[in-house]
Amino acid sequence: MTLRRVIPWVVSLFVLPCAFAAPATDPFAHPVTDAAQLRATLSRPAAKLATAQVLKGQFRHSRHLSEISRPLIATGEFIVVRDLGVYWHTQQPFDSVALLSEAGIAQSDGGGSAMRVSADEQPAVRVIAKIFMALVTLDVASLGRDFDLFSDTDAGKRDGSWIIGLKPRAKAIAGVFTQATVSGSDDVEQVVLTDTRGDRTVIDFSAITYSSDPPGAEVRALFAPLRP
């Protein structure tokens, strides 16, 4: 499985089609020329994320597809664990669990056995895991290695809001995911991915909590399907 095939498969695990609201600010008109200024803009959410070992919250998926007239909505809960990965539990409209880490990808529906792709067999999985983790943890240094960054760092000074635009440098990534935006205020609130056809995948986050304590046994057990 190549990187070109892994990316859309991972997106399909975490996304369902639904409606999309365009951001009020277009970050792509403002290339980032000063990474330090961008880090200053993100200082509030970055401070929380820097010490967090476990990040929990709710999500709402939305995706606008040109060929689908009626949107669908998917909601659920997520857990991001530093050095372990992402636990993504879709609860509505059906029950499904997806796991993503540098060790691999696993997905199960309705409590059934997990389908697993190992990163040892498909190294592209590690690339996708790093990108996804960098997006949700605002790792500017990591994102800057893989993407051209854009942000109007003056736009949110009044209300504290911010938005970052990303365009992938690698052709393999750009072939299926042409640009992304990450936005929020005190927290990361929304990630939007735009594919080669112009369809948009939107992930809205809410009710986010942070813990600086290492994950307990119950949380670690969620990632058991990714263990060799």
Note the pTM of the prediction, 2 decimals.
0.83
CB 118 within 8 A of CB 30: no
pLDDT in tens, 146-157: 899 999 877 666
pLDDT in tens, 155-203: 666 678 899 999 998 887 787 789 999 999 989 999 988 888 888 888 9
175: exposed, middle or buried (Cβ count in 10 Å: 0-12, 13-18, 19+): middle
For the chain, the structural domain boundaries read 3-226
Pick 69 or 119 by higher pLDDT: 119
Q: What stretch of H or E contains 137?
A: helix 124-137
CATH homologous superfamily of 3-226 equals: Lipoprotein localisation LolA/LolB/LppX (2.50.20.10)
Whether residue 10 has pLDDT greater than 50: yes
What is the SS3 assignment for 102? coil
pLDDT in tens, 27-50: 999 999 888 888 888 988 988 888
User: 21 falls in which pLDDT band (50, 70, 90)?
Assistant: very low
pLDDT of residue 171: 81
